[in-house]
Amino acid sequence: IDEIVQVTNDDAGTTARRLAKEEGILAGISSGAATRAALQVARRPENAGKVIVVILPDTGERYLSTWLFQDLYQTAPGLP
C-alpha cells in the first residue's frame, strides 16, 4: 500500500449515485469511496496521462431501499 486516501460518507454516497446515474453502474458506498479516491489520485498533475484502475468492492443492490438510492429507485421507469 502506497497511500490511504480518506473519503467522507457523503462524498462516497454522492459518487455511488453518480456511478448509477451517469455510468449505469449500481455500486455501493464502498465502491463510491474507492471511485472517489481514484478520481482524487487521477487529478494530480503527476498522474496526467496515466491509467488509474479502481476495484469496486460492493454492489448497490442492498442499498436500494436506503437513502443512497431511494429517490432514484422510486423515479425509475418500469419499476414497481
Find cell 498533475 and name the residue. 45
Check residue 61 and report its DSSP letter. Answer: G
Angle at which helices 29-42 and 9-18 pack, to 10 degrees?
90
* Span 52-70, average pLDDT: 88
Tens-digit pLDDT profile for residues 23-49: 999 999 999 999 999 999 999 999 999
Determine the CATH number of domain 9-75: 3.40.50.1100
Higher-confidence residue of 71 and 5: namely 5
Does residue 79 surpass a pLDDT of 60? no
Confidence band for 74, pLDDT divided at 50, 70 and 90: low
CB count within 10 Å of CB 37 equals 20
